[in-house]
Amino acid sequence: METIEKAISSAILKLMRPLVRILLRNGVPFRTFTEIAKRVYVSVASEEFAIEGRKPSVSRVSVITGLSRKEISRVKETVGSDEDISVQRYNRVARVISGWIGDPKFHDGAGEPKELAVENGEISFAELVRLYSGDVPARAILDELVRVGSVTRTGKGRVRLLARAYVPQTGETDKIGILGTDVADLIFTIDHNLTDGKKEPMFQRKVSYDNLSVEAVGEIRKLSASHAQELLELLGRHMAEHDRDINPEAGGTGRLRAGVGVYYFEENVGKERGEELREVEDEY
């Protein structure tokens, strides 16, 4: 029977391979990775594994992590903020698009996102940003949406939505920032299902087959993109109704962050000579 240690080692090897590929492609050496890993070990041990009623001590963290007290003290002195500017921008811009798609106030007679005046009026892009992105200048959000091709200027101070999702087309920094948040959310769900899943499991499913033709995969890719987008828009509209930043009258207690992520994967497992391994992951 496989031990927990072996199962964890096997899982780490699998999830680390695509991560290391990204690190090496972007010139991140092993030493830098170990420094980041130490920082996370110290942070999690200090914040989540302290003895109840006691202040977390360096000795306690040392016992849990296997790091020396001297090393832990050094790491603590170098720890900065985990908040990333690119992730903040992604969240704010994505919410603006979700509002444009889901809020009937910004729809035309056919129920589709309408062309908006950039400024002035209750049905304007500036008002959309105010409702769904807080105090960020509308011009900054608009510039970003134009940059990635999600929005186009139609003249006479108006803009039209072109894409129903915010996916940065340029700038590896933005894409890697999104990678961090999305993968972290998935691992959080897996961890919850391992520890508290018997009481209240979180939804975690996937479907895959390993002997599909190139032609069939092309159809599946389009079908998955279409239906995944429909699902996310449906859920986005419902969440917006209950988000108290957008709808202060929603009420309720506590403050939780919740969401649903969908991804598509594709890999060439053919054995003919000359075939190359290909992986494609599209986040929606």
| Residue 266 contacts residue 222 (beta carbons within 8 Å) | no
Give the gyration radius of the chain's Cα atoms: 23
Please state the φ and ψ torsions of residue 28, each to the nearest 5 degrees: -95, 110
| Residue 153 contacts residue 159 (beta carbons within 8 Å) | yes
| 163-190 residue pLDDT tens | 887 766 555 666 677 777 888 899 999 9
User: Could you tell me how far CA 117 lies from the centroid of its own chain?
Assistant: 30
Question: The CATH number of the domain where 104 resides is what?
Answer: 1.10.10
Who's near 221: CB < 8 A, 6+ residues apart?
264, 266
The mean pLDDT of the chain is 84
With respect to residue 107, please indicate whether it lies within any of the assigned structural domains: yes
pLDDT for the residue 174: 64
Segment among 7-11, 50-54, 102-106 with least mean pLDDT: 50-54
Considering the domain architecture, whether residues 90 and 131 belong to the same structural domain is answered as: yes
Nearest CA among 49, 278, 82, 260 for reference residue 177: 82
Domain hosting residue 232, numbered range: 205-283
With respect to residue 167, please indicate whether it lies within any of the assigned structural domains: no
pLDDT for the residue 284: 38
- Stronger pLDDT, 89 or 48, i.e. the higher one: 48
Q: Partners of 155 in the beta sheet?
A: 158
Considering the domain architecture, whether residues 57 and 119 belong to the same structural domain is answered as: no
Residue 283 has pLDDT above 80, yes or no: no
pLDDT band at 147 (very low <50, low <70, confident <90, very high): confident
| Residue 132 contacts residue 98 (beta carbons within 8 Å) | yes
Domain limit, last residue, from 35, 59, 82: 82
Domains: count for the chain: 3
Please state the φ and ψ torsions of residue 46, each to the nearest 5 degrees: -70, -40
Considering the domain architecture, whether residues 118 and 72 belong to the same structural domain is answered as: no
Nearest CA among 212, 215, 226 for reference residue 264: 226
Helices (H), the chain: 4-25, 30-48, 58-65, 69-78, 85-102, 125-133, 138-147, 172-195, 214-242
pLDDT for the residue 179: 73
With respect to residue 238, please indicate whether it lies within any of the assigned structural domains: yes
With respect to residue 180, please indicate whether it lies within any of the assigned structural domains: no
Q: What percentage of the chain exceeds 90 in pLDDT?
A: 39
Query: Stretch 56-65: mean pLDDT, rounded?
Result: 90
| Amino acid (1-letter code) at residue 118 | V
Considering the domain architecture, whether residues 245 and 269 belong to the same structural domain is answered as: yes
pLDDT for the residue 62: 93
pLDDT band at 278 (very low <50, low <70, confident <90, very high): very low
pLDDT for the residue 126: 93
pLDDT for the residue 80: 55
> Cα(107)–Cα(21) distance, rounded to whole angstroms?
43
pLDDT band at 267 (very low <50, low <70, confident <90, very high): confident
| 74-97 residue pLDDT tens | 888 876 544 455 556 667 888 899
Query: Stretch 246-265: mean pLDDT, rounded?
Result: 90
With respect to residue 195, please indicate whether it lies within any of the assigned structural domains: no
Residue 52 has pLDDT above 60, yes or no: yes
With respect to residue 183, please indicate whether it lies within any of the assigned structural domains: no
Considering the domain architecture, whether residues 41 and 68 belong to the same structural domain is answered as: yes
Considering the domain architecture, whether residues 74 and 133 belong to the same structural domain is answered as: no
Considering the domain architecture, whether residues 235 and 277 belong to the same structural domain is answered as: yes
> Cα(120)–Cα(220) distance, rounded to whole angstroms?
43
Segment among 10-14, 195-199, 256-260 with least mean pLDDT: 195-199
Considering the domain architecture, whether residues 93 and 157 belong to the same structural domain is answered as: yes
| Amino acid (1-letter code) at residue 237 | R
| 93-119 residue pLDDT tens | 888 998 999 889 999 989 899 999 998
Domain limit, last residue, from 161, 177, 195: 161
Considering the domain architecture, whether residues 78 and 23 belong to the same structural domain is answered as: yes
pLDDT band at 273 (very low <50, low <70, confident <90, very high): very low
Considering the domain architecture, whether residues 72 and 101 belong to the same structural domain is answered as: no
Residue 65 has pLDDT above 90, yes or no: yes
Segment among 56-65, 97-106, 117-126, 273-282 with least mean pLDDT: 273-282
Query: Stretch 241-265: mean pLDDT, rounded?
Result: 90
With respect to residue 213, please indicate whether it lies within any of the assigned structural domains: yes
Residue 201 has pLDDT above 60, yes or no: yes
Nearest CA among 62, 136, 139 for reference residue 95: 136
With respect to residue 178, please indicate whether it lies within any of the assigned structural domains: no
> Cα(90)–Cα(178) distance, rounded to whole angstroms?
7
Considering the domain architecture, whether residues 89 and 107 belong to the same structural domain is answered as: yes
pTM of the model: 0.63
Who's near 120: CB < 8 A, 6+ residues apart?
126
Domain limit, last residue, from 161, 184, 213: 161
Considering the domain architecture, whether residues 93 and 72 belong to the same structural domain is answered as: no
